[in-house]
Structures are given as structure tokens and as C-alpha cells.
Amino acid sequence: MMYPVTIGHSEVKVNPLGLGTNAVGGYNLFPGLDDQAGIDLVKTALDNGINLLDTAYVYGLGHSEELIGQAIQDYDRHKIIIATKGAHDFSTGKEVINNDPDFITKQVNDSLKRLQTDYIDIYYLHFPDHDTPKAEAVGALQKLREEGKIRAIGISNFSLAQIKEANADGYVDIVEDEFSLLHQDHLTEGMLD
């Protein structure tokens, strides 16, 4: 049995195990994916107690979100926790990380359409950019939270200094970074102190 945990200061409660959906529609990273197999995978996870679905715009440039949106239509949306991420801007023909508040607001609105939902439970800034003040980008997410479009604010792939800057106003609920037996850079940064 899994006991739910609360995400930061939000009201979002998740089971400690979730489904990462990079391989659900993420054709740009995993060639030869079958859309129906991805939808079936999401449904199987939901049918077996997984309530957290983690996706991102960059997983198939929105296609993963579209497949999840299709998969969840037969389920009670209030029992599913959807986490997605944004910051990848391809509008110039090249991949650019963009945390500009207007761009992030557009990313959230586009994700809502692809996911076929009225709200996103956890929205992450997927990567920090070099130009936008971190607290300003998070402030845009806070405004979206106040509008009811997202329920919790996350940041991903931020250094410790960037996390502190992003959370200057105390709005960040969750941090998602790479950490494993192979990737332990955060220990030397003091992130886990």
C-alpha cells in the first residue's frame, strides 16, 4: 500500500510512485513509439494504483501530453495527478530555453489544451534560462496558480543557487533534479544539506 505525500505547501497529494512518460509520445527521443501502446501504458498504470503522470512539452513536442490527454478521458480527473514541464522554445527554428513569463504562460495554456484538462497539478520550469530572473519566472507560475490553472509550482534541473533565487518569494513547492548512484553532483553542491 502506498501512502500519499503532500507536495510542498500545496494541496496536491501523490503516491510516492509515479509514471514518467518520456517514452509515451516522446518520438524525438525514442524513435518507433506506438501511440496506442503509450495510451495503454498510461491506463495500465492508472488501473494499478499509480496516480502521478509526469510529462513535459519536450517529450514529443507536446505529443506525450496529447496522448495522456486521450488516456485520462475515461478516468476521474480529480484522482489523477498530472505533472508537466515547459521552457523549450522552438519558435526560432532552434531549441532555446525560455523562462520569460509570457512564454511560460503560453506554455501552460498550450499544455492545458493538449492534456484536455482545466488544471495542471504540478507545473515545472523544466530548465533555467540565462536571461530571466528566476523569481520572476516563478512569479508567473504563482499568478497561474492564483487563476486555478496550476496547483503546485516546481523547478527542474536548477542548481542550488538557482533554486534559492527561484524561491525568493517562497512559491516553489517541489524540485525535480537528477540524482542517483551515477549522478551525485548535488552532494558536493550542498543541495541535500
d(C-alpha 11, C-alpha 28), whole Å: 34
**Which one of 27, 57, 59, 124 is the catalytic residue?**
59
Own/partner long-range contacts of 169-178 (Cβ < 8 Å, ≥24 apart): 169/135, 169/138, 169/139, 169/142, 170/9, 171/138, 171/139, 171/141, 171/142, 171/145, 172/8, 172/138, 173/7, 173/8, 173/9, 173/10, 173/12, 173/122, 174/7, 174/8, 174/122, 174/124, 176/124
According to the 3-state scheme, what is the secondary structure of 106-158?
HHHHHHHHHHCCCCEEEEEECCCCCCCCHHHHHHHHHHHHHCCCEEEEEEECC
- Any catalytic annotation for residue 59? yes
d(C-alpha 98, C-alpha 72), whole Å: 29
The residues annotated as belonging to the active site are 59
